[in-house]
Each structure stands twice: as C-alpha cells, then as structure tokens.
Amino acid sequence: MNSQNKSTVLSADLNNFIYGVSRRNAQNAPDLTKTGVNLLKNFPAARDAVLEYFAMVFHDAVNMSISQSEYEADMGNGSLESVNMIGPELCSLGQAWAPFIAPWCINLIMDIATKKSSVPNTTLQNADPVRILLDITTQNLTLLNSEERAKCIDMMLGSRACSWAVGWVGRAEPALVAPRALQLGADAARAVLAHLANHPPATHHVRVALLHLFHEALREDGDSEKKREVIPYLLTLASKSDIVLKALTQDIEQTLTDEVMERLCAVCASQCKSVAWADVGPGALVALLLRADVRCLLLLLRHALPTSAHPKNGFCRQLVANLLQQLEYEGLHRDKTIPLITSAVEEIHIVRDKLLDGSQYEKFCLARVLIVISSNLPSEFVSTISYLLQHSRDESTLALLVRIVSGTIRMHVPNDSSDINLDTDRYQNLIKTGVEYALRDAMLADDEIKSCFIDGSMPEDQKTYLHYFSLNIIKLLRWENSGRVPHLSTRPFGRAVEANLYRVGDALQQYASLLRVRRDSTMASLDEMPTCHALAEILDRVDMSGANGPAPTVEDILKVVRATVQYFFRCIHLKDTSEKLRSVTIACRLLHKQCVHTHLARSLAMRELLETAMFREDTAFGSRPVIPNIISAMNKWNNGDLLIHFNQKHGPITQLTQSHTSVFHAGIIGKGVRKQDNSDANDIPPILTTNIELLMGALMSCMEGDRGLVEGNKSMVLLLVEVVSPDVMYNGWPWPDEDFTKQVSIERELYMCGALDGAGVARAALRRAARARPCLCLASTLLRAKAASFLHRLRAYLDRHTQSAEMAKERVSLEDLLSTMTLGNLLPHPLSHMLELAPELTAGEIVQVLRDCLWNYTRDHVPSPTMFPCDRNGLHWRDPSSCKPPTIYTDTLRLIIQMRISKLGHMYPIMFLNLKKEN
C-alpha cells in the first residue's frame, strides 16, 4: 500500500473513531477498540485520545463487573470484550511504549481506586478488568529502567486508595516496593505490605528492607532526630502487619546478637522518653510477643537471666512475667488461637530440649508455656510426659514434669473447686498413654545403632534408655509414696504404671532373658542387669492388690509372674553376693505380692520356678538332666558296653526277663556299663547350696500364712510328682509289696530315683514339704521309688561286692531319704532312729532294715494326711503316744543292735527301754 492510500485509510479510521466515540455505546465498543488499537500502532499522534478512550472502556467494564444487576452485566458484554482485546495489545507494544503505557495504567488504577473507594478491595481487585489492567502494568514495568520503575512505584505509593495495587504490582519488583513502602506511615505501609505478603518471595525483600532500616537506626552517626522514631515505628508496624512481624522475627538470634542488644539498650535508654515512644510500652510488647515466634520467647528468656545487674535484665524479667500471665489468661479460652502457642507447638522439640539443658529460670518459664500447650492439646500433653520420662536426668527436671502434669489438670479448674478429682480422672488416661509411649520408645531406642558404640568411645556411665526411664519412674513413685508432694496425692504415675503392668512385665521378661538376641554396636550391647533391677523395683513399688485402684487383670498378673521368675533366675547368675541377695529379695517380694491374691498366680509361679530350676537352669543348682543327651555318644559305644553283651558275660545262665539282675548289673539302660566316677556327687559347692536356698525362699514367698504354707507345699509336692513321675500310673499313696516293684514298676522307680538324685532342687523341695505336715504324704510315690531303688541296688551291690565309693554314695542318698521321712514324721519312734543307725550298718543289714522296718511299716500304715490330726491352733502333727509301731516292725532293729552291741549299744536304751517300761 502506498503512502497516499495509507494516509487515506488512517484519516478514515480517525474520523470513524472520533465519530464513534462521540456516540459510543456498549454495542460499538469492540469496533471502536479495534480502530483505536490500529490508530495507536500506526498513528502515534492519536495516542492520548486512544488511551483516553481505553480508560473510559475500563471504567465501564469495571462498573459492569462489580454491578449486581444481570441486565447491566449483559449490556456490558461489549466493554468486557473490549478490555480483553486491549490487554494483549498494550502488553505487546514493546519497550518503546512502556514509558507511556506504565504511567497511564498507574493513573488509571489510581483513578478507579479513588472512584471505587467504597467498594471492598477484594471485590475490586478480583474484577476481570482490574486484573487485566494490573497485568498490563506489571509487564510494562519490567520493560522500564530502574529509575523509571522507581518513579512509577512512587506514583502508586502516593495514593493511599490503591495500596492493594502496589502490593500486586510490587510482586514483580519487591526490592523497590518494600523499602519505599516503609517510608510511609504505619497504616499506609501496613496496607501495602499486607498485599505484598500474598507473594511469598517478597518476604525476603521486606526483611532486607526492615533490617537495613533497623541497623541504620542503631548507627551512631547520622541524623539522630530522624532515627529516634525508627524503633517505635518498626514496633508499631509489626503490631499491625503480620509480614513485618514475621520478617523481623525470622532468625532473630542472628539479628539480635549480644552486640546489637547492647546498642539497642543504649538507644532505648536515651530515647524512651520521647513522644514517638509513648505507644511502645510493656503492654504493647506483650501483645506483640503473643503474635511472635517462640524463638523470640527463648531469646527474651536468655536476656532475662538474673546473671547480672544490667538494667535490661530487670526489664526483660518483668516483660516475661507479664507475657506468661497474659498467656495463661488467653489459654483459658480453648477456642482461641494464640500465634505464640501455635509456633511453640510447631517447634516443640526446641522447647523440650531447652527444658532439659536450660537454666532453672528458663525451665520454670517454659514449663508454664507447656502447661498452656498441654491444657489445650492433649496429644502434646502425652508427648511431653513421654519425652521427659525418657530424657530427664535429674530431680529438678522431674519436678518440672510433676508441675506440668498438675498444672495441666488444674488449668481450667479453680483451686477451690470440688471437680478437681473429676478432672484428674479425665487426664489419667492421658498420663497412662504417656507412660506407655515412653516405655515403648525407650525400648525401641535401645535397639537403634549409636555412633558411640561404632567408634568405640562409649562412656563408662552410659546406661540404656529404658534404664533412665525406669529410674525416673522409680523417683516419681518414691515421691508419691512419701506423701510429701501434694501434686502427687492422687498417684497419677503409680496408677499409670499399674495400667501398663503388662508392658512393664513384658519389658522385664525381655531384658532378663539370657536368650534375647542382641545386635552388636547397639545400646542393647550394654549391661542390662541395672535395667532389670530398675524394672523390678518399679513393679515392687506399685500396688497390685487393687486397693487403691482397679485390680490388675489375670493376663497382667501372669505376665508379671513370668517376668519375675525370669528375673529371679537372671539374678542367680550374679557374681556380686550383696547385689544377688538384694535383687533376689525383690524378686521374692514381687512373687509374694502377686501370689497372695490369686491361686492361679501361685500355681504358675511355682511351676515356672521348679521346672526352670530342674530343666533349664539345672547347672546353676548342681542338677543333672533327667534324660541326658545320649545320641551324640552312641557312635562311641563298643559291643562290650551294650546291656545285652554285659548280661551275657555276667553269668552262664540265661537271665529271666523280669529279674533284677538283667537290669542292675549293667548300670543304665540304653547307655551300657555304668562308668566309674570317683567324685562325690553329694559334695555340692557352697554357691550351689546358696542358689538352692534362694530358690526355696522364692517358693516359700509364694505362700502366705500357716494355711497358705500348707496349701502351697501341697501344690509344690504335687507339681514335683508331676514333673518327676514319667506317667500317672502307681502315683497313689499306698506302698505295695516288695515283689510288686521287682516285677512291675522297678524301671519306672529307677527313673524317678535317678531324677531325684540328679536334682538337688527336688530333694530340697521334699525337705521343705516335710516341714509342712502332712504335705510329704502327697510325695509318697517319690519316697517309694527311692526306697525300692535302694533295696534292689544295695542287694545288687552286696552280690557284686561293689566298690566302697559307690556304696558311700548310696549311703548318703539313703540318709537323705530317712532324714526327709523323719522330718515329715512319717517314721515314728523308734523307726525314726534308723537315720542314726544307717552309717554303721552293712549293705545286707540295710537291705534287711529297709524291707522289714521301713517298707513293711509304710505298706501297712499308708502315709496319709489322716495320720496328722489338727489341733486347736490349726497345726497338723502326729501324737507320739498314739502312733507306736508294733514290735513286728522294730524287732529287726532290736536284733541288729543286740548282735552289734559293742558299736550300737548306746542306741538301745534310746530306742527300746522306754517301750519296755510302757509295756
């Protein structure tokens, strides 16, 4: 197109534009807009007119957008269409047009904001025409140089009506907007920064501008009159603007260093009496701190420490006191959100860590903060209890835990209210959960790998986490039981431990087990006995009777019983005698507490004690396995060691199948010839004797009173019979004829005799039962088995001329049997003196005495509880005058003494003279 035609077209467009503007309406707005855009691109001289028309279009579009009339909105569709057409065109004009478009947009925004000042800012800035206008402004500002951009920003800041626009446009240039906004008054700056806060990257520039202004105010040079108002201005602005407060308090430890604090105190001291500081008082600071970050509180506490006489310390302490008082008052309203509390919850780990390693003043103040948190957030109450129970290392921290618990319970209840007990019950479940979580986390922490174990730098006093938890619980239980701590009068921790009885018992059972898998380089590699002692002491200090609360369930009691038995046997292996006795005493006391109220616990405890001592911990008590492991030795046997070959060598005749010679000449069935052992099996080391006595003490602790002692011994004897006897046949009280044992039950009785001889625990249990008459009668089958075995073995020894060492062992076992039966009053006078005669008798005489006196007497006088009448005191005993044995059972003893009068004559008057006189 040549220039003449182009001029003609432009002239026509200009005429049409002027004519259309003079008669403009909603219908011709899109056509006029197209014409205006064409003139703007091809005829710059018409710029002002076109832009003025565009301004009118934007005004109409804004009016239509914020109007509530649907009819008017339909009529304004042309204006809205025109605005959508103008936006992309003005944004695409390029850098040359930016110096004209940007000021025009800013003026238009200011004009719209002024005319629509009655319209809410949110409604106005959400209108589509305004958003398009803001986008045009933002894109054109980016095309300007720094000086031009600064002028445009200053234009917008000059109008208070368009602060929202400054915040929106300032997102593109926050570095320019933030420092210029701070030059305005507090209200104007707040309005701008509030809108700027919606753009998160702008926070950094706001912080930079604020810190620059703050540090400039602290400099010693410059205009002091101007700087005097900066600090109160910043505080006032922070009280009105969240973005300013957040920017000022971010990384406040780095901002308010010790040097800065010294300079700030000097400036405040010199300028605090000026008019600008009138509104910056303690009340305003407290209100500001309630909205601040928790790190501000920590910094304030550090500067409030009473370590020096600096004036700032007194002011900070007074400020802390006012803040905590206001915080507690605000915390009474559960539905009210306190930013300081919210921040403390978000960074609760910092607060709790400071509660452990801070000064006493800091701990006390933070405890009050945690009370407010816990009273409004039950989950944090539970977490705080769990954390302090695990990590407290001194009594002062535990005292803070008590204060937090009691303060939380009483937070919403006046001190003189009668509902305090109801509130305590309401919080008791939370305390129980806190103890449960602490126990669980402590056990998990013991299994975590720690660097101190990997690099080999473990401290000497290092303990497991569970041990520290247990020590803390023990200390709290001591305080509760002392009655000198009013806050613990309701036994919150004792009741919590009782509610977690199963878990504490499970922890003790795990740590007391020698078979627990413990990985290397973990906390579990430490000595776990201190932890076991602490857990046992916890169980010892809590109430299991149900007198002060709900009684423990059967499941809880049984778990604690098993754990206590496991702990008892772990203590048996201790080398330190004093520690061993002390811990065994605690174990016995625990068994007594659990067994005194339920027979089920007593039965379980006695069964676990006996079976563990006889089968799993046999080496600790000098016992030999009842059924030895002979599989590994079978390959080493020769033909001469087998029973059938040995019997063939014994005599020229074929042995009868039920003859005792087919059994006793070869030793142990299935193992071949009995190996000669010159050691004294009854020479028990002192440590084994001590262990057996401790085990007997544990068994006795399961019994209560005279009646409980008898019942308990009955249970122990029946259990012993059940454990030792290979089957239930022939377990009755009667003693059969001697021939019956030879032909029917001898192998069974040999097995039982071997079990008793190999288990010192079983023999000790029989002696204990003999003291509680008539309990020994229930063990008649065991006594019968030993007596039958002695009869047949001693007869075999006599036939084979067995070595004296083996005979000595039989004599010792015989003396044990006789002493047990005499102690149990099963052998009346003079049969009770067989024990004194046995060492002087030969093998043949012993066999004769056992058959004629002991066996025949017990066969005809079956050991039965009916032999022991009960007197008025509830004691069972046998009257010597009514249980004299007939002479048929004593003649053998009389004849043996008469034949060996030189050695046994001194026993004759003791045993028989009194009988003669009475006859």
| DSSP per-residue codes, 1-59 | --HHHHHHHHHHHHHHHHHHHHT--TTTHHHHHHHHHHHHHH-GGGHHHHHHHHHHHHH
Q: Two tokens at 908?
A: 């004759």
pLDDT for the residue numbered 747: 84
Average pLDDT, the chain: 80
Of 768, 732, 712, the residue nearest 864 (C-alpha): 732
pLDDT for the residue numbered 430: 93
Distance, in Å, from the CA atom of 80 to the CA atom of 87, rounded to the nearest integer, reads 11
pLDDT at 453 over 80: no
pLDDT at 322 over 70: yes
Distance, in Å, from the CA atom of 723 to the CA atom of 762, rounded to the nearest integer, reads 10
pLDDT band at residue 354 using 50, 70 and 90 as cut-offs: very high
Higher pLDDT: 224 or 838? It is: 838
pLDDT at 703 over 50: yes
pLDDT at 80 over 90: no
For the ranges 276-280, 576-580, 856-860, which has the lowest average pLDDT?
Answer: 276-280
Q: If you ran DSSP here, which 8-state letter would residue 392 be given?
A: -
Terminal-to-terminal C-alpha distance of the chain: 164
pLDDT for the residue numbered 71: 42
SS3 state of residue 371:
helix
pLDDT at 316 over 80: yes
Distance, in Å, from the CA atom of 63 to the CA atom of 56, rounded to the nearest integer, reads 11
Distance, in Å, from the CA atom of 276 to the CA atom of 526, rounded to the nearest integer, reads 64
Distance, in Å, from the CA atom of 177 to the CA atom of 165, rounded to the nearest integer, reads 11
- Helical pair 554-572 and 577-595, crossing angle rounded to 10 deg: 160
What is the amino acid identity at position 590? L
SS3 state of residue 522:
strand
Q: For 394-412, write each residue's pLDDT tens digit.
A: 999 999 999 999 999 888 7
Of 557, 564, 546, 543, the residue nearest 497 (C-alpha): 543
Higher pLDDT: 734 or 185? It is: 734
What are the strands, taking DSSP E only, across 729-847? Answer: none
The arithmetic mean of pLDDT across residues 528-546, rounded, is 91
- Return the sign of the alpha-carbon dihedral for residues 846, 851, 856, 862: positive
pLDDT for the residue numbered 659: 45
The arithmetic mean of pLDDT across residues 551-561, rounded, is 91
What is the amino acid identity at position 191? A
pLDDT for the residue numbered 664: 43
CA 424 to mean position of chain CA atoms: 22
pLDDT band at residue 662 using 50, 70 and 90 as cut-offs: very low
pLDDT at 232 over 90: no
pLDDT for the residue numbered 136: 87
pLDDT for the residue numbered 8: 67
Of 318, 320, 313, the residue nearest 297 (C-alpha): 320
CB under 8 Å to 35, separation ≥6 — which residues? 13, 16, 17, 20
The arithmetic mean of pLDDT across residues 168-196, rounded, is 73
Task: Decide: 241 and 261 in contact? Cβ < 8 Å.
Answer: no
Q: For 477-494, write each residue's pLDDT tens digit.
A: 999 999 888 889 889 999
Q: If you ran DSSP here, which 8-state letter would residue 449 be given?
A: B
Beta pairing partners, 449: 522
SS3 state of residue 788:
helix
Task: Decide: 815 and 682 in contact? Cβ < 8 Å.
Answer: no
pLDDT for the residue numbered 661: 44
Higher pLDDT: 219 or 367? It is: 367
Which string of b and e fits 444-475 if b means at least 16 CB within 10 Å?
Answer: ebbeeeeeebeeeeeeeeebbbbbbbbbbbbb
Higher pLDDT: 902 or 470? It is: 470
pLDDT at 729 over 80: no
Q: What is the CA radius of gyration of the chain?
A: 49
Q: For the purposes of burial, counting CB atoms within 10 Å of the CB of 94, is it exposed (0-12), middle (13-18) or buried (19 or more)? A: exposed
Distance, in Å, from the CA atom of 431 to the CA atom of 428, rounded to the nearest integer, reads 5
Q: For the purposes of burial, counting CB atoms within 10 Å of the CB of 248, is it exposed (0-12), middle (13-18) or buried (19 or more)? A: buried
For the ranges 37-46, 630-639, 755-764, 770-779, which has the lowest average pLDDT?
Answer: 630-639
Distance, in Å, from the CA atom of 36 to the CA atom of 101, rounded to the nearest integer, reads 15
pLDDT for the residue numbered 518: 63
pLDDT band at residue 918 using 50, 70 and 90 as cut-offs: very low
Beta pairing partners, 876: 870
pLDDT at 916 over 60: no
pLDDT band at residue 733 using 50, 70 and 90 as cut-offs: confident
The arithmetic mean of pLDDT across residues 83-87, rounded, is 85
pLDDT band at residue 459 using 50, 70 and 90 as cut-offs: low
Distance, in Å, from the CA atom of 877 to the CA atom of 796, rounded to the nearest integer, reads 38
Higher pLDDT: 511 or 417? It is: 511
The arithmetic mean of pLDDT across residues 773-794, rounded, is 86
Distance, in Å, from the CA atom of 899 to the CA atom of 596, rounded to the nearest integer, reads 55
**With pLDDT > 70 as the criterion, what percentage of the chain qualifies?**
79
Q: Two tokens at 490?
A: 């309701």
Give the number of other CB atoms < 10 A from CB of residue 859: 15
pLDDT band at residue 182 using 50, 70 and 90 as cut-offs: confident
The arithmetic mean of pLDDT across residues 156-184, rounded, is 73
Quick check: bond before 103 cis, omega within 30? no
The arithmetic mean of pLDDT across residues 647-658, rounded, is 47
pLDDT for the residue numbered 392: 92
pLDDT at 120 over 90: no
| Contacts of the segment 227-232: beta carbons below 8 A, 24+ positions apart | 228/271, 228/274, 228/276, 229/274, 229/276, 231/264, 231/267, 231/268, 231/271, 231/277, 231/280, 232/276, 232/277, 232/279, 232/280
pLDDT band at residue 658 using 50, 70 and 90 as cut-offs: very low
Beta pairing partners, 672: 668
Give the number of other CB atoms < 10 A from CB of residue 598: 17
Distance, in Å, from the CA atom of 909 to the CA atom of 849, rounded to the nearest integer, reads 19
pLDDT at 223 over 60: no
pLDDT for the residue numbered 290: 92
Task: Decide: 840 and 901 in contact? Cβ < 8 Å.
Answer: no
The arithmetic mean of pLDDT across residues 334-344, rounded, is 88
- Return the sign of the alpha-carbon dihedral for residues 68, 73, 79, 80: positive
SS3 state of residue 118:
coil
CB under 8 Å to 702, separation ≥6 — which residues? 591, 592, 595, 602, 605, 606, 609, 712
The arithmetic mean of pLDDT across residues 472-481, rounded, is 95
pLDDT for the residue numbered 416: 57
pLDDT at 627 over 60: no
Quick check: bond before 830 cis, omega within 30? yes
Distance, in Å, from the CA atom of 128 to the CA atom of 132, rounded to the nearest integer, reads 6
**With pLDDT > 90 as the criterion, what percentage of the chain qualifies?**
21
What is the amino acid identity at position 146? S
Task: Decide: 566 and 508 in contact? Cβ < 8 Å.
Answer: yes
Which string of b and e fits 4-38 if b means at least 16 CB within 10 Å?
Answer: eeeeeebeebbeebeebbeebebebbbebbebbbb
pLDDT band at residue 653 using 50, 70 and 90 as cut-offs: very low
pLDDT band at residue 181 using 50, 70 and 90 as cut-offs: confident
Q: If you ran DSSP here, which 8-state letter would residue 672 be given?
A: B
What is the amino acid identity at position 396? S
What is the amino acid identity at position 604? L
- Whole-model pTM: value is 0.77
